[in-house]
Chains A and B, each alone.
Chain A
Amino acid sequence: MNAPVNLEKLLPTVDHRHLDHLEEEAIFILREVAAAFERPGLLFSSGKDSCVVLRLAEKAFKTRDKSDPTGNTFKGKLPFPLVHVDTGHNFPEVIEFRDRRVAEMGERVIVAHMEESIKKGTVRLAHPLESRNGHQTVTLLEAIEDNRFDVLIGGARRDEEKARAKERIFSHRDSFGQWQPKEQRPELWNLFNTRIRPGEHFRAFPISNWTELDVWLYIARENIPLPSLYFAHQRQVVRKKGLLVPVTEVTPPEAGDVVETETVRFRTVGDMTCTCPVESPAVSAQDIVAETLTVTVSERGATRMDDRTSEASMERRKKEGYF
């Protein structure tokens, strides 16, 4: 593990001082969650955004261990557990990372398994290899009910997608877990209205105002550990509709597919059935910062099969309670 990165040296043209302000805002929001709610949880998918939120939470509630030169160790415990919705179709690198980081940090993690929802019959798959991404909502809402969470912290960013751009920092969800875009509470100054009735909950998004580039600048500056998937590696892929579809046990090649081995990395980590890597030689966070500065395709456009079905697919999923 390397020491924290000096961005001035590596990227003299990138001004990263605005990160201080973004960090300040995020820490304020995280403390608001801890102070205003009874039973918070932090959604942790091991993706880059949730790894950033986790680091911000460490800064909000713990003390940096100065004896660790990597800057990755904090003393103490978070005032809420981590929550992971495991679709059963996660990349193995992601599960390995989750378990290792949680053990290193000494945090509590609650894993909600979609397999349980399938067993119970609350999730019905149309066919065994169907994308499980959309079905996550059911398992997530079950986890909220079972654990009586009144707020869940998420790593969503408004620059990701048009429906996300509309969402408040404290997003109210009704007793069915639904987001109602026309009924959003005005969000004035930093005076968040977090009052709820039993059965309702909130989603809180401390990095709403961050962009993909901000996230990578922060990862580089703070030396935040990430799953190996994010960095260049060799992987078997099939080219389909402009995407590189990874060859996995749940996305096997079909008749006529040409399997190639490419140097790739993932820009986003999701369900194996719908997440695609991009060609890239970037092996470090600073390489990725440099790449993100010149990228021409959005994060979701490059990597997600499920968002392409309709312009409103994210909004519709969110109305049903998707994170």
Chain B
Amino acid sequence: MSAVLNNDNTRVHEQDVDTQHRALRFLTAGSVDDGKSTLIGRLLYDSRAILADQLDTLEKRAAGAPIDLSLLTDGLEAEREQGITIDVAYRYFATKTRKFIIADAPGHEQYTRNMVTAAAGSDAAVVLVDITKLDLDAAEVPLLPQTRRHSLLAHLLRVPSIVFAINKIDALADPGAGFAKVSAALRAFAAQAGIAVTAIVPVSALRGDNVTQPLDAAWYDGPSLLQVLEGLPALQEKVEGQLLIPVQYVAREGEGTGHQPRTLWGRIAHGQVKAGDEVQILPSGQTAVVAEVRRAGETVAHSVAGESAGVVLDRQLDVSRGDWIVTPGSATPVQSFEATLAWLDTEPAKEGRKYWVRHGNRWVQARIAAIEHRLDIHTLAETEAQELAVNEIGHVRIEVQAALPVEPYAANRVGGALIVVDPTSNRTSGALLVR
């Protein structure tokens, strides 16, 4: 927990940057049949998030056999028919110390776009590794392509914590040796790909070993998966440094309260704001002084990154949705930038084609000026490409019709993320991560 220092060194908003009290959002990745749904079912079941009537449905279906926990998660008819997960679903459970939101992303390669969707908002990724599918006799255990793909994708999307859960350890005669070998293979791969591994945990989702209850085995004295998850940080907003607020909604003079002056609402991307601060409006470049800061129906002393602030300026400027409130001189809008593009649409991304992009709250027209490489998502190797098909990822150069104050995605998600929308179909066709 980091305290935030005000100019006069008084602590402000300590609670608001204390992200341990937020729900931890994590996605689960892994191949079909690696036991992803069973693991989620197990987490929900053991943490009592499954209630009697829901269990009743499963018991009826099991007709005397042990209940199939994986059935807890597939919510659509087509998923139950086909026995696969098509779309992201969100699940909720809580322990005594933490709340969790699981983004349950499909494992099939053709649904990579849904994994991208799940990863974009996640604090952590749990990559499931099915140990029974690996050749444990090999000198260096070869990992499955899905394990490599999912960890590389999570890494590319800058999911802050990456946890490997080695599943089905109950199926091995010597689980300790198997776990050691696969751990070594994962660490070697991660080191080579530049992925920081948060933890590697052995589990049996089917039996519930080391999921919520610690494993009783001589070969493992580490934490259970749930203990690891309970300790992970939620995304930390950058409260120190320059201010950046994408203006979301301009409440007209008198709107809402009948007496308030015009309020500029927006969620603070980074920095903090208080009355008396000098700010600049982009793209107009005009400056003003903050007269009042508001939050949720009240006037407040400060507002910090992650919160929606209402900013009242000391003078009437022309500001509208899509503009930016920044520390004067801190941001330089650009009309061209390099980015990683994750393509999500069945209609391929084409060099030269115009799309809509959304950056913060601004929509502008954009063109894919050049597709520089396609990335092999098994290795992240670069290959030449003129278009990107659905589920492909590449490096591109983007030109926008109006300059945007973009920042590298690695430095800040709000300043560095854009969505691409097809102007004909209105579909969300791609995700851009500024490089």
- Give A residues with C-beta under 8 Å from B: 13, 15, 17-18, 20-21, 23-24, 27-28, 31-32, 34-35, 58-64, 74-79, 158-159, 161-166, 181-182, 184-191, 193, 195-197, 208-209, 211, 213, 295-298, 300-302, 311-312, 315-316
Chain A residues with Cβ below 8 Å from B418 are 191
Q: Does B216 contact A (CB under 8 A)?
A: no
Is B361 within 8 A of A193, CB to CB? no
Residue of A nearest to B104 (CB): A165
Chain B residues with Cβ below 8 Å from A27 are 296, 308
List 9 extra interface pairs beyond A59-B297, A181-B78, CB under 8 A.
A24-B308, A63-B257, A79-B256, A158-B90, A163-B75, A181-B87, A186-B117, A191-B359, A301-B52
Residue of B nearest to A162 (CB): B75
Partner of B114, one of A186, A195, A298: A186
Partner of B248, one of A18, A32, A197, A300: A32
Partner of A35, one of B15, B54, B76, B361: B361
Q: Does B166 contact A (CB under 8 A)?
A: no
Chain B residues with Cβ below 8 Å from A193 are 358, 419, 421, 426, 428
Knowing A34-B249, A166-B87 touch, does A61 contact B256 (C-beta < 8 A)? Answer: yes
* Cβ distance A293 to chain B, nearest Cβ, rounded Å: 10
Is A186 within 8 A of B116, CB to CB? yes
Partner of A186, one of B75, B307, B344: B344
Residue of A nearest to B254 (CB): A76
Is B77 within 8 A of A315, CB to CB? yes
Q: Tell which of A76, A77, A186, A316 has the most Cβ of chain B within 10 Å.
A: A186
* Cβ distance B25 to chain A, nearest Cβ, rounded Å: 9
* Cβ distance A30 to chain B, nearest Cβ, rounded Å: 9
* Cβ distance B61 to chain A, nearest Cβ, rounded Å: 9
Chain B residues with Cβ below 8 Å from A187 are 117, 428
Q: Does B23 contact A (CB under 8 A)?
A: yes
CA distance A188 to B307 in the complex (A): 19
Partner of A24, one of B96, B257, B307: B307
Knowing A182-B87, A186-B344, A301-B51 touch, does A17 contact B15 (C-beta < 8 A)? Answer: yes
Partner of B428, one of A35, A59, A188: A188
Is B87 within 8 A of A184, CB to CB? yes
CA distance A204 to B308 in the complex (A): 18
CA distance A31 to B99 in the complex (A): 26
Closest 3 CB pairs of A and B: A301-B53, A162-B75, A17-B21
- Give B residues with C-beta under 8 Å from A: 15-16, 18, 21-23, 51-54, 56-57, 73-78, 80, 86-92, 94, 96-97, 99, 101, 113-114, 116-117, 120-121, 248-251, 255-260, 265, 267, 296-298, 306-308, 321, 344, 356, 358-359, 361, 413-414, 417-419, 421, 426-428, 431
Chain A residues with Cβ below 8 Å from B426 are 193, 195-197
Is B76 within 8 A of A28, CB to CB? no
CA distance A159 to B356 in the complex (A): 33
Partner of A191, one of B54, B86, B91, B419: B419
Is A76 within 8 A of B120, CB to CB? no
Residue of B nearest to A307 (CB): B53
Residue of B nearest to A188 (CB): B120
* Cβ distance A130 to chain B, nearest Cβ, rounded Å: 24
Q: 21 A–B contact pairs at CB < 8 A?
A: A13-B96, A17-B21, A23-B296, A27-B296, A62-B256, A63-B297, A64-B297, A162-B75, A166-B87, A181-B78, A181-B87, A184-B87, A186-B114, A186-B116, A188-B417, A188-B431, A190-B267, A209-B23, A209-B90, A301-B51, A301-B52
* Cβ distance B357 to chain A, nearest Cβ, rounded Å: 9
* Cβ distance A165 to chain B, nearest Cβ, rounded Å: 4
Residue of B nearest to A16 (CB): B21
CA distance A75 to B297 in the complex (A): 9
Q: Tell which of B114, B250, B308 has the most Cβ of chain A within 10 Å.
A: B308
Residue of B nearest to A74 (CB): B297
Chain A residues with Cβ below 8 Å from B358 are 191, 193
Chain A residues with Cβ below 8 Å from B260 are 63, 76
Is B15 within 8 A of A185, CB to CB? no
Partner of B258, one of A13, A76, A182: A76
Residue of B nearest to A213 (CB): B94
Residue of B nearest to A161 (CB): B75
